[in-house]
Structure 1
């Protein structure tokens, strides 16, 4: 194992989870909680809406979902739209959208994989009708939970319903990442050799196979947008470097050649570039290079000497989220490729790390990290609104990967 990697990137997931104490009990494997033409309003940053459901379950989940969206403010009077949800047939929900004056502008029956999923999909339909942008409520999460006492991989919906534990390695598990079609997960685990290897998990049958197990560190695997290639970090030839292989973990080629430590590769939305972290300038900074290899250029943020954990927005290719250090803590920043500038978008009282974009290119999921807690939150990068997705009974949750609604 490369000591240098672990000593120099102390806020990256390999270090964070390796140092975690025993998990908070109480995380259940079957879920923590189950829990016409429209005039698009674009001038309001915070649109007042009324949200209701014809059953207590629909009402609670609908208000939770739409209340987490930074573009809306839930209120009973003076609203621009009245959004109503009612159950249909099995795994169906009817969504009705009415203007404040009483005109019905949307009435649609939405199907899902479950009644809960149908409600989240229906809420996404309402968001698209009101804002013109896609919703993200029907997203799927893969994340690390510690309900068993060891970090394991879980999947569930965005609001931590219908949660399943899908690994039982009883060893350190890290960095789960969805394939674009949602059929597979790649993740790093120490369970077989005691060293970090990358594994592939088929979600249809939960069959696991070794993806990459080479000499040294194997970590940070992430699919290209078309699912044909995987970027990863390998250290078998010396320093941790960026490599790219095919979707079966073969035909692996080295893409960086430096004396530095590279980490956190992420493809651009069109697959032509890779953003990654390198400490070639003495501290972690962000760099972009062609996916085929070649010279890398630094993304100058002017915010911090520590910038890591990049995630390139699939919905808005101009935006790159990342973690930066401010003083003794960490917050989320967004780099704008159209202006070559960056800004801090989170205001978390504790560390805010591990950002991952949601489907609208405005919101993201991040980990709120303190000495005794790891929790998942939604962040509106336009107005700073943050909404907790997990409560204390869920235990330690971190390292979310997002599968956009399908």
Structure 2
């Protein structure tokens, strides 16, 4: 019988991966074939004290939720467990786990020291071979960090049982919305990727838009609508940097109503944004240290929504220079490029479908671009390869918009708005499966996913 690792690897490679990864990651096409999640058993972690056992149970539950939430694993109910009170120092009785059809088993223990520090040990087993696949121990200075420790452990398990890196130890920044539709209050908010620990970062006195993380996950760039000092009845778009750790905010630009959707370069040293000057919207790069702007496009069309490739050498953006809003790619240095579809030029067209394309964002893997498409009164979230081939729709609805990638490029979060105007966050994986709502305390829109925090 196949081991748990080989079984899940084969399953993922047949269902969830793309040809562009095949040379480096031993993976093949996404298909719509039959999918069965891997059955996995995760008993509550034991503890050296009742307090430690309580925390251990909480850690195990978060790990279960993370792995089950990925759609790749099916958690076996503890009610089915034959073997109880597992000791991490003793090999499990694998026959007891085979009988409930568990492919893999995670056993752990939590220890709280007299100083308040907490250590968690865990071992991952392949039930059918009886072999240990992985073991590790993590120590944190306070038990208050138990939830993040759980996400880190879940990442370890995910990486052992799939061909991909983990993504659970990460955060989502988004716009928290409240109030009547005619007078919405929009605050900057942040939470763990699973919806835990939500926190408002701004107080709602000014309307915030389009938050994005820098590569360190410690700084957010966003746009705010603020009163015009010369005419309080008018508003201006002001671009801010927000330091998550200190709460310090810094204005990096005051551009009237002409700036849109700034994004960091992969090195964090500059940002790309669209600015409208002399009535024409083009793509610019702003050097953050020198506050120096460089214009990258100079076209009568509307150019907006830039997003960097992972290596920073290219930018995808939206332009209507072909008659309708479509996606284009240009070199970051503004040099000419050879185009797959058309003559050489400064920018190459990527999409050619009916309707309007917007909000492009480059996958962390580098091979796909996610986008919003509007056609015939409906919106959809889709992906396309960087050469313009393989365009696919992942989900469509009355209004879906604003995709953002998980750090491993496997999952997309976006926001969906009901006909009553109530926005909420949703996620879906690259196979088009596992569509689910991402919990937030209230209405939420315009998400951005951080890199992994480690």
TM value normalised by structure 1:
0.83
Flag the 1:200–1:333 CA change in 2: closer, same or farther, 3 A: same
Tell me how many residue pairs correspond in the alignment. Answer: 365
Flag the 1:140–1:312 CA change in 2: closer, same or farther, 3 A: same
1:240 Cα offset (Å): 1.8
Flag the 1:131–1:328 CA change in 2: closer, same or farther, 3 A: same
Which segment drifts farther, 88-97 or 366-375? Answer: 88-97
- Corresponding residue for 2:160? 129
Greater fraction of residues in helix: 2
Alpha-carbon distance in structure 1 between the residues aligned to 2:10 and 2:412: 22
1:58 Cα offset (Å): 2.7
1:343 Cα offset (Å): 0.7
- Corresponding residue for 2:287? 246
> After the TM superposition, which residues 228-307 of structure 1 pair with which residues of structure 2 at under 5 Å, given as runs?
228-248=269-289, 250-294=291-335, 295-302=346-353, 304-307=354-357
Q: 2:137 aligns with which of 109, 116, 137?
A: 109
Q: 2:212 aligns with which of 170, 177, 184?
A: 177
CA contact (8 A) 1:215 1:236 kept: no
Which segment drifts farther, 188-197 or 331-340? Answer: 331-340
- Corresponding residue for 2:436? 387
The DSSP-based 3-state class of the residue aligned with 1:176 is strand
> After the TM superposition, which residues 22-33 of structure 1 pair with which residues of structure 2 at under 5 Å, given as runs?
none
- Corresponding residue for 1:3? none
CA contact (8 A) 1:323 1:330 kept: yes
The DSSP-based 3-state class of the residue aligned with 1:376 is strand
1:182 Cα offset (Å): 2.0
Report Cα offsets for 1:73-100 as digits up to 9, x if no partner: 3335323212345434445443331212
Alpha-carbon distance in structure 2 between the residues aligned to 1:226 and 1:367: 27
> After the TM superposition, which residues 152-231 of structure 1 pair with which residues of structure 2 at under 5 Å, given as runs?
152-193=187-228, 194-231=235-272
- Corresponding residue for 1:96? 123
Alpha-carbon distance in structure 1 between the residues aligned to 2:400 and 2:108: 34
- Corresponding residue for 2:373? 324
- Corresponding residue for 2:87? none
Alpha-carbon distance in structure 1 between the residues aligned to 2:108 and 2:445: 31
Alpha-carbon distance in structure 1 between the residues aligned to 2:400 and 2:312: 27
CA contact (8 A) 1:199 1:212 kept: yes
The DSSP-based 3-state class of the residue aligned with 2:195 is coil
Q: 2:39 aligns with which of 39, 44, 48?
A: 48
Q: 1:355 aligns with which of 403, 413, 420?
A: 403
1:325 Cα offset (Å): 2.2
Alpha-carbon distance in structure 2 between the residues aligned to 1:147 and 1:111: 39
Unaligned runs of 5+ in 1: 1-36
**What is the CA RMSD across the aligned residues, in angstroms?**
2.3
1:287 Cα offset (Å): 0.6
Flag the 1:192–1:338 CA change in 2: closer, same or farther, 3 A: same
1:110 Cα offset (Å): 3.1
Higher-Rg structure is 2
The DSSP-based 3-state class of the residue aligned with 2:403 is strand
TM value normalised by structure 2:
0.75
Unaligned runs of 5+ in 2: 13-36, 46-53, 78-99, 229-234, 336-345
- Corresponding residue for 2:358? 308
Alpha-carbon distance in structure 2 between the residues aligned to 1:375 and 1:86: 37
1:185 Cα offset (Å): 1.0
Flag the 1:97–1:267 CA change in 2: closer, same or farther, 3 A: same
